[in-house]
Chain A
Amino acid sequence: MSKAQPGMSIDRADIAFEVNGAAVSVCVPPLRRLSSVLRDELRLTGTKIGCDAGDCGACTVLVDGEPVCACLMPAASAAGAAVTTVEGLANGRLSALQASFLDHGAAQCGACTPGLLIAATALLDRKPCPTEAETQDALGGILCRCTGYRKIIAAVMDAGRFAREPSTDGAAPHPPAGTFSPYRDGEKGQAATLTTPSPRSLRGEGKGEGQHQLNQFDRDLDRRMPVSGSAVGASPIRLDGLPKVTGDEKFGADSFPADALAVLVVRSPHHHARFTFGDLDAWTKKHPGIVGVFTAADISGKNCFGVIGPFADQPALAESFARFRGEAVALVAGEREAILDLDLSDFPVEWAELPHVLQPCEAQVSGAELIHQHRAANLLTSGFVERGNPEAALAGAAVTVSGSIDTSYVEHAYIEPEAGYAYMDGDTLVVVACTQAPYMDRDDTAKVLGLAVDKVRIVPTATGGGFGSKLDVSLQPLIGLVAMKTGRPAALAYTRNESMISTTKRHPAEMKATIGADADGLVTGMVFTGDFNTGAYASWGPTVANRVPVHASGPYLTPNYRAEGRAIHTNGPISGAFRGFGVPQATIMQETLYDELAEKLSIDRLDFRLKNCLRNGSETVTGQRLESAVGIAECLEALRPHWSRALADASTFNATNAGIKRGVGVASCWYGCGNTSLPNPSTIKVGISAAGDVVLHQGAVDIGQGSNTVISQICADALGLPLEKFRLKSADTAITPDAGKTSASRQTFVTGKAAEKAGRALRDAILRFANVSEKALIALDGTSLAIRDGEATRRIDLSTLPADVDGFIFRAEETYDPPTLPLDAKGQGKPYAVYGYGAQVAELEVDLKLGTVKLIKITAAHDVGKAINPLLVEGQIEGGIAQGIGMALMEEYIPGRTENLHDYLIPTIGDVPPIETILVEVPDPEGPFGAKGLGEHVLIPTAPAILNAIRHAAGVLVTKVPATPTRIRAAIRDKEARR
């Protein structure tokens, strides 16, 4: 840096430092954040920005060997320093830590991965074999929302194993599911798993990187590539894993064109307000570098979007009044530096605050102002299921229990805030952004902007977590509008605050239920009502209202049943989809009552659940007869030894401890995979190229959960070619057919089934061409296909055959839509073709004086039908549990108050206990290779299991989640006062 002179202005300065060993010099304002300098000036986008406040640690870099948050360091402080970013960790080949991350599946979406790798590198430099506690201390400042942290801890502690030269016989085989957590109880060695062990690891020769080309980095990496026909059930390193550990992965904000206009969004500071604009043109002229201001008046299409067509009600830019705090009202577009230096405090908008309602009870009082004029009583919609005669059943029950549970807004808190850019390609608008649902984005963006759907192209970037919120459009129509109006690329990355205030949340629920059982302990009836605060706009509120009544019984035989779920508008944040669509909330209600019932009946809580759980041949509360594949009993049985051990441990502990009490809780889940009684198709296109690759158009957007890998594995085995031959094309709407949205735990099942069908169809096409029998084996050898049928082998030279427009010599495209039936007026019908099941045991300690909870262990048994990739399944389970922990103990979004990641708390690496996974595989005849969905299932049992464990430990049920220290302590105090 040029010697800083006292009194120098805030103008730019030359700042010289070292990055990853190379000298660099930048000319930037000295207070520019180092994170911005690295990303925007040096184009080192591996360093991620998750919060700009030191709350998430995604931007962690080393400065002179010490980890710091680059978002909190002025560029001036980097002068003369040596900075290391994730791009500098691999030196010709992956560092041991990077290899270990891939091996352990420690990166899911990958947005937090660079920060974790950097912080762990600093730890390992100091301490090559760290303990678990040392690892947690070193990584405590980096939030991860996908993995549940356990595989990260394992990868860091195990990194030393990857430091030596690679042996020629391959790395150790992938251990079977259930053996990953460092934690061991007394029963190790025989994980109670019903899964077949993963196939032995094979030395991969390094192809099959998916859409990312191979590079030098992975030459030593054992990718555990399965041989042909063994892909399903194997745990190859995720096909898209490499760029996630090198910093090469491009998320929404990582590939902005240099000439793109920057966009700022003007948002409502009020929950409900009328607004008018002043002289926008004059304001624009007054600010050099500002190119334009755009409002609803500039929107040429229908300024009304929404994920469910008939309920669409949300303007991309509000017109005249805003219905919630954070609603977008105007866009300011300008040159990047001008936008960075723009103070919006003089933006010409006048606000007139209007009365608002934030609670459903307020929204429903008679005479309450309607948030949408056509929705009486602020009721968006309701869902209803009724079977038998619940009143009579409860009246005749030997025991009944009743209760109420309230839950809070929960924020998705993916580490990557929404980001993307848009540009015009001729007359086509191209939007390059993170998403969970490219075709839905395309349709809503086209509608708002008045374009034909084929004039909008959505190019998904890597998506840094979604969990439901990135199903709805956010910035797509906004940047699209700027690109259309200005003819220039337009780029926008939401700030953390903007992401939190403007995008969807989990619905807060106010639920009541009564459940009755006979003297033998069989549940005879249940009634349930739930009011779900759906916020200002519809989003996925109707889905929640409909899904909840179908699932509120839990996976238990409930012959007499009535459940109603209502979605009620308020001026709160929009509630939408969040992993489970209301079912996690409803399950807290049902499972905590089950504990009370078991207690009243003096039946062991696990036995009570086994006595009542659905079995093959049972009818659900919607009257759907489940002929086969009902795996809940297997899950509960698999937990039994853990349950007994945990109860014994708790009893021993409690005998000698007074102030801290240990408790054990159990809860189950079931969840229908795919849309509820609605069409839900996925299409997969796959072909053989002239170059001898299998090219898979993989439209199931991978938001970290692993669909890039899982869909390929399914297709590989259906086709009969090795996974390493696969090249992936992304879910770009211009090139890849619609595989539906990544939600509702549908991708493995629905898109997987389409991939299976497409793989088989491609195989059939090849076999027909070769005129061989169905038993023939096929192989790719360079640019030729070798087909062996019995003793005869035939070679097809692909380069001599004509290729189609996609470059395919052979091709197939298949669609699958799960068979469902509509629900009638009483909610009777067949809403889902496939259900998945699971149950979890939580062990914890409650500090009775402080009301704090320390989790000891979670044991999770999930029936996934068939674990296509056991390592990824474990990753889903651990990540879902971490989100369940957050919902149970700490997550409560309060608009206007917790709009950042230090007031809104999600679990850190110190908050997720060891997790033991038990994979249960009861194959479903409908699913591909027997597979069922699991993404949402895995979160559902955690919170009720924790609440039940708290009740077991402290004798109190907390009826509002999160069960914060204040609420637990208040419940204990109330109980003490009653004595």
Chain B
Amino acid sequence: MIRYAKPTTVDEALALLSEGSWRILAGGTDFYPAQGSKPFRENVLDINGLAALRGIAETGTHWVIGARTTWTDLVRHPLPAAFDALKQVAREVGSVQIQNVASIAGNLCNASPAADGAPALLVLDAEVELRSAKTTRYLPLERFILGNRRTDLQPGEMVTAIRIPKSAAAGTSCFVKLGARRYLVISIAMVAARLVIEDGIVSDAAVAVGSCSAVAKRLSGVEAALRGLPVDHGLVAAIQSAPMDELSPIGDVRGSAEYRLDAAREIVARAVLGTVALDDKVAAA
């Protein structure tokens, strides 16, 4: 017998998860397209009754985004400037209708290489809170998404929150999405950048690229090249010559591998300039 459950507390949900295999339903925006017109043949745990998982909270050390928090919730919540890239993502993901129901955590759990949320959360050093009936663990985002449609979610576990360390919620950020049309478009490539500037010098830099590898990647070479530089157009030169070995794009209907590498470097530069307001034309397309 196929099971459907819609618990109202996290403990109930975790207890159910410990009983067997479940497919988790949150915003439904990846769930239903994946289902198509096929009948349901899996147990479905509908977490839309878990009020405790929706919303954004601030602790002494972290910003905590509940697993059911939607992109629209995020846009409407006052957050530091470091979150601007994530808020730009929130306005670009799918459409308004998608943003109103799709959860940020679901974007990560779906583990698409083209998930717009991943680079913006990577530059915030985000970690994923995973709970089971027995334990709670925290995993850096880099170690949560393992590959195309693969995560480290274990049987009995669910993502309950995304946590941003306050140390990473510093500086300013920018997101640049490159797509073949204006709305409702899967990215050819996208970049999030967060820079911390002290006395006109880049004291910290975080740059991540999506859709150019199986999992979105931080660009350590670019970040290293940026640190210590004065904030001027010299940043672009540094980016042009920095290594981007993390990227290994494939060619597909959205763009060739060669194009992606070429374009990624360009939009990295635009995103970095966008974080420091050196380029007011940051939109890629």
Given A53-B32, A54-B33, verify A4-B41 contact (CB < 8 Å): no
Q: How far is the CB of B218 from chain A (nearest CB, A)?
A: 22
Q: A790 contacts the other chain (Cβ, under 8 Å)?
A: no
Given A30-B46, A850-B266, A850-B267, verify A140-B184 contact (CB < 8 Å): yes
Binary contact readout A1-31 vs B (1 if CB under 8 angstroms, 0 otherwise): 0001111111000000000000000000111
Given A67-B100, A849-B266, A965-B255, verify A54-B183 contact (CB < 8 Å): no
With a CB–CB cut-off of 8 A, which chain A residues contact B250?
none
Q: A132 contacts the other chain (Cβ, under 8 Å)?
A: no
Q: How far is the CB of A85 from chain B (nearest CB, A)?
A: 14
Q: How many residues of A contact B (CB 8 A)?
A: 68
A55 to B183, CA, bound (A): 10
With a CB–CB cut-off of 8 A, which chain A residues contact B180?
889-890, 905, 964-965
Contact of B98 among A33, A141, A851, A903 (CB under 8 A): A141
- Inter-chain contact B284/A8, CB cutoff 8 Å: no
Binary contact readout B30-62 vs A (1 if CB under 8 angstroms, 0 otherwise): 011100111111001010110000000000000
Nearest CB to that of B185 among chain A residues? A905
Q: B105 contacts the other chain (Cβ, under 8 Å)?
A: no
A341 to B28, CA, bound (A): 19
With a CB–CB cut-off of 8 A, which chain A residues contact B44?
10, 31
A951 to B191, CA, bound (A): 29
Nearest CB to that of B34 among chain A residues? A53
With a CB–CB cut-off of 8 A, which chain B residues contact A10?
1-4, 40, 44
Nearest CB to that of A67 among chain B residues? B97
Given A74-B28, A965-B255, A966-B255, verify A9-B182 contact (CB < 8 Å): no
- Inter-chain contact A54/B97, CB cutoff 8 Å: yes
Q: B residues 193-225 with Cβ under 8 Å of A?
A: none
A341 to B180, CA, bound (A): 37
Binary contact readout A884-914 vs B (1 if CB under 8 angstroms, 0 otherwise): 0000011010100110001101011111000
Binary contact readout A948-976 vs B (1 if CB under 8 angstroms, 0 otherwise): 00000000000000001110011001000
Binary contact readout A529-553 vs B (1 if CB under 8 angstroms, 0 otherwise): 0000000000000000000000000
With a CB–CB cut-off of 8 A, which chain B residues contact A851?
259, 263
- Inter-chain contact A68/B97, CB cutoff 8 Å: yes
- Inter-chain contact A31/B25, CB cutoff 8 Å: yes
- Inter-chain contact B259/A74, CB cutoff 8 Å: no
Binary contact readout B155-181 vs A (1 if CB under 8 angstroms, 0 otherwise): 000000000000000000000001011
Q: B275 contacts the other chain (Cβ, under 8 Å)?
A: no
- Inter-chain contact A72/B72, CB cutoff 8 Å: no
Q: How far is the CB of A339 from chain B (nearest CB, A)?
A: 9
- Where chain A touches its partner, the secondary structure class is loop
- Inter-chain contact A66/B72, CB cutoff 8 Å: yes
Q: B248 contacts the other chain (Cβ, under 8 Å)?
A: no
With a CB–CB cut-off of 8 A, which chain B residues contact A660?
281
Q: A253 contacts the other chain (Cβ, under 8 Å)?
A: no
Contact of B100 among A68, A847, A849, A973 (CB under 8 A): A68
With a CB–CB cut-off of 8 A, which chain A residues contact B32?
33, 52-54, 71-72
With a CB–CB cut-off of 8 A, which chain B residues contact A29?
4, 40
- Inter-chain contact B186/A902, CB cutoff 8 Å: yes
Q: How far is the CB of B29 from chain A (nearest CB, A)?
A: 5
A138 to B36, CA, bound (A): 26
Nearest CB to that of B7 among chain A residues? A6
- Inter-chain contact A903/B253, CB cutoff 8 Å: yes
Q: A57 contacts the other chain (Cβ, under 8 Å)?
A: yes
Nearest CB to that of A122 among chain B residues? B96
Q: A495 contacts the other chain (Cβ, under 8 Å)?
A: yes
Given A31-B25, A965-B188, verify A7-B46 contact (CB < 8 Å): no
A132 to B186, CA, bound (A): 24
Binary contact readout A828-861 vs B (1 if CB under 8 angstroms, 0 otherwise): 0000000000000000000101111010000000
Contact of B3 among A7, A33, A136, A910 (CB under 8 A): A7
Nearest CB to that of A33 among chain B residues? B32
Q: B12 contacts the other chain (Cβ, under 8 Å)?
A: yes
A270 to B16, CA, bound (A): 41
Given A965-B255, A966-B259, verify A850-B1 contact (CB < 8 Å): no
Given A72-B28, A894-B253, A970-B256, verify A30-B6 contact (CB < 8 Å): yes
Q: Which residues of A contact B (CB under 8 A)?
A: 4-10, 29-31, 33, 52-55, 57, 60, 66-69, 71-74, 76-77, 119, 136-138, 140-143, 340-343, 495, 497, 660, 847, 849-852, 854, 889-890, 892, 894, 897-898, 902-903, 905, 907-911, 964-966, 969-970, 973
Given contacts A72-B31, A970-B259, 15 further A-B pairs with CB under 8 A are: A4-B6, A6-B12, A10-B4, A55-B33, A55-B184, A60-B97, A72-B98, A74-B25, A76-B48, A341-B39, A343-B39, A908-B181, A964-B255, A965-B259, A965-B285
Top 8 closest pairs, chain A to chain B, by CB:
A141-B95, A910-B182, A140-B183, A4-B6, A53-B33, A966-B259, A908-B183, A852-B285
18 residue pairs from A and B, CB less than 8 Å apart:
A4-B49, A9-B4, A52-B32, A54-B98, A67-B100, A69-B29, A69-B97, A72-B28, A72-B97, A141-B95, A141-B183, A847-B284, A851-B263, A894-B253, A905-B180, A908-B184, A965-B263, A969-B263
